[in-house]
Each structure stands twice: as C-alpha cells, then as structure tokens.
Amino acid sequence: MDWMQSLRLTAPEILLSVSGLILLVGSAWGQTRRDARAVNWLSVLVLIAASVITAPTLLNGVTGDAALAFDGLFSADAFAAFAKLLIYVAAAASLLLAPSFFERHGGYRPEFPVLVLFSVLGMGMMVSATNLLTLYVGLELNSLAAYVLAAFLKSDERSAEAGLKYFVLGALASGILLFGMSLTYGFTGTISFDGIAAATSTGLSKGALFGLTFMIAGLAFKISAVPFHMWTPDVYEGAPTPVTTLFASAPKVAALALTIRVAVEAFGNQTAAWQQIIGFAAVASIVVGALGAIWQTNLKRLLAYSSINNVGFMLVGLTAASPEGVSAMLVYLAIYVPMTIGGFVAVLMLRDAEGRQLEAISDLAGLSSTRPLLALGLGSVMFSMAGIPFFFGFWGKFVVFQAAVAAGLVPLAVIAAAGSVIGAFYYLKIVKVMYFDEPVGKATGQSDMVHEWLLAISALLISPLGWLLTKGLGVLAALAAGVLFAAA
C-alpha cells in the first residue's frame, strides 16, 4: 500500500478531521458570541479549502487505481468529487445561515460548526466508500452528528422532539442497513463492492437478494424515500431552520450518491434485482410528496414533502440503470441544492417586526407588496421546483425523463410527469398567496445581509440564467457517471 498516495487522496477528509478537532478544543475555551462566530467563519474557510483540494479530481476525471486509497477501502474518484463539492457548498451555506438565527434564540455556540464539519466528514466517507465497512463508518459518523444538530436548540421543545424522533428512527434504519450488510457479506463472502459484484456475476442467491433489499431499505430512510419518509416532515419542521437547510441538502446528496454506488458498483451485474425496488420508491415518493404537500399550512413541512417529491424524480434516473440516467440524476442533484438552499433561506427571512420566525403559508399573503425582493426570490424557487419551463428546475426534470425514455421506461416517465403536474399546484399556490392575496403585513422584519446574498445567488442560479450552465454541468455529470460504469 502506497501511504503517500492514500494520504494525498484523502487530503479533504484529513483537513476536515484535523480542523474539526482543533476547533473542538478551541471551542472549549471560547463560548462568547465573538468566539462562536470566529469558529463558524473558520469552518466555512475549511470547507472552501476542501473544495479547492477536491475540484481537480473532478476536472481531471480521476478513476481506477489512481483513485484508490488504503488498499481499496476508499475511492477519491471523479464521482465522489462531484458529490463532495455539492456537500461542501450546502454545508457552507448552512453555516452562513446559523449565527444570526441562533443568536435570536438564546445564543450561538461554537459546537455547531464543529458538528457540521464532522457530519461533512462522514458524508465524504460515504460517497467515497467502496467497501461495506467504510460505508457504515461514514454513515454513522454523519448520523451521530446529525442527531445532535436536530436537537441543538435546547430551549425549543420542537427541536428536542425532532432530535429524539430522528435518533430513534435513524437507529432503526441503521439496524436495517447493518442487517442487510451482514446478509450480503454472509452470502457473498466479501465486503468490498468489487468482490460483491464478482460474487453475484453469475446470479443472486435468495440470501444476497434479501441483503440487497434490506440495504436499499436502510438507505431509503436516509434519502427520505417512500415508504421510509415518515420522519421527514416532523424533523424538518422541528429542527432549527439552518439545520433543516443542511438536512435537506448535503446529507441528501451523500445518501443518494452512496445509493448509486451500491446499486451500480456492488450490484451492477444484477440490475433487475434492484431496478423494480428503486422504481417503486421513485413513483411512491413522487405521488406521496405531491399529494402530501397539498394540505400543508406550514412552509417548512411543505418543503419537506417537496424534498420527498424531488427524491422521487432523482430515483427515476437511477431506475434507468444507465450512464445517462446517473448523469441526469447528478444534474438534478446539482440543481436541487441551490433550490433547497434558496427555499430555506427565504423561510429564515420571514420574520415579523419583533424578529419572530413566521412559518405559516397564510403569513405570506401579499408579501410582494411589503417585501418585493423576498417575494421575487421565493417565487423563483417555487417556479423552479415546479419545473416551469425556462427555470433551471425544468432542465433537471427534463434530463431525468429523457434518460427514462431512452432506457425504455416510458410508463415510469409518464407517471413522473403527471406527478410533476400535481406538484406544481402547491408550488404555484405559494406564488398566488404572495402576489394575489390581500396583504396581512406580518413579514415586516429586517433580513440579514448574508441571508439576502444567499437568496440572491440561489435565485440567479435557478433562474433562466442558470441555463448558461447546462453544457458545463452536463459534461461534469457525464464524466462523474462514466467513472462508475467504467469501474463496473
């Protein structure tokens, strides 16, 4: 084993580990507002540095033995780099949102950015996993930090409830996943993805099939796919909004990337075994996400069902089981991240004159007349999520449907398109409330400059101007997807 190559390939993870430990020790001595903000900004700089280190891996299309570290336990290939860049961006945005929010709710503590760094470290291990052992270590490192983050706002009963629900159901999902991994190891005799692929190349035994099913079930919980979505609305509503922003973006990217790796690398020879399961989860998530959101009166719960709905569309790409399908899924993920960040930033900016958070959809009535720029930003997010033509969200759905049709999954594409039409109802309802209802004059509080800039950047990326990025994004997504299928 070449230790220097392994250390070089894992440089982003080493940076996150060392920085997290140093900041953790430093936070023990500094508990003032100024100290917490300093740790927060240092954590953002660490994520930026990790992105700079990771970007060349994607641009150079690193793959094969040149990407393997620690005797094949870890793969720093272009696919992992694509996912990590999205994770770092989403985590940095969540950190930028956090200080002002927590300072209005009892004070900001430096443990928050440290927990985010360790969570991001786990996500990086997840997307680079080529082995069941690495998979589980990364998953649990992310989950343990996430449980604490969900309950971080100790003064809020909803936050404590969200943390408890997430912990109990997350532990159950981890147990299901671990059981599936045990079955897979027992019936294939190996824990490496390449070894599992070789062992199943001539057929899939019933035991290995059960292992695959349980593993997909455990991963489905992490991505909020139906029927393992029940925790999502409650946790998204109860957790502090910066934490919800993180949950809805970065861990979603990591879990979906990990699901792709397991399906394509470990069980790529047995596509028929998981294609129907993923297809069912895709259709169910689209339908439940679309119908469940219609009756919501809380904006954060609506965005939770929107997240479930969007996962369904992304799983349509994986169901195609082709390089084009995975590439389309990655394109959708890249568009989904700024849409999600923009949506939750807008929620954070909805405050009354006393600075209290507003979450009811009825509080948005007539927002266009009292806060026109905020209404414009949130409207852009809603139009993009609805897949209205010329907004960037439309492109994400288009490439996914195109990949499904090319793979001969026309019925699936038709059902997904019908679900998109249903989902457009509740997205456009938000726009209608903001622009055509009588103003209630509740959202009159001032917004932080950082929040305004984040919303502006997100809105520009998902606006029609985002179409300027389609060619470059498509090339990078195809490069990342091709790495997996070349390995398979």
CA-closest candidate to residue 176, choices 138, 142, 210, 125 = 210
CA-closest candidate to residue 298, choices 229, 360, 214 = 360
The DSSP output letter for 465 is: G
State residue 366's pLDDT score: 80
Note whether 330 and 480 are within 8 A (CB).
Answer: yes
State residue 387's pLDDT score: 84
Alpha carbon 235 to its chain's center = 15
Burial category of 465 from C-beta neighbours within 10 Å (exposed 0-12, middle 13-18, buried 19 and up) = exposed
Note whether 347 and 430 are within 8 A (CB).
Answer: no
| CA 327, 332, 335, 340 torsion-angle sign | negative
CA-closest candidate to residue 90, choices 124, 133, 58 = 124
pLDDT averaged over 10-residue windows placed end to end, the chain, 488 residues: 78 91 79 74 92 89 78 86 93 89 76 90 90 89 87 78 83 88 88 86 83 88 85 83 88 91 84 86 89 83 88 90 89 92 87 75 81 86 86 88 88 87 84 82 75 87 84 88 74
Query: Which residue shows structure tokens 């349509």?
Result: 316
State residue 77's pLDDT score: 87
Q: What are the C-alpha distances in Å from 360 to residues 186, 302, 379, 443?
A: 50, 10, 16, 11
Note whether 123 and 250 are within 8 A (CB).
Answer: yes
The model carries a pTM of 0.92
Bridge partners (DSSP) listed for residue 192: 131
The DSSP output letter for 228 is: S
Q: What are the C-alpha distances in Å from 115 to residues 39, 91, 194, 421?
A: 11, 11, 32, 39
Query: Which residue shows structure tokens 């606006």?
Result: 463
The domains of the chain are located at: 269-488
The three-state secondary structure class of 68 is strand
- Tell me the C-alpha distance between 243 and 149, whole Å: 6
State residue 363's pLDDT score: 81
The DSSP output letter for 353 is: T
Bridge partners (DSSP) listed for residue 351: 357
If you write DSSP's letter for every residue of 387-447 in order, what string do you get?
A: T-TTSHHHHHHHHHHHHHHHTT-HHHHHHHHHHHHHHHHHHHHHHHHHHHSPP-----PPP
State residue 1's pLDDT score: 55
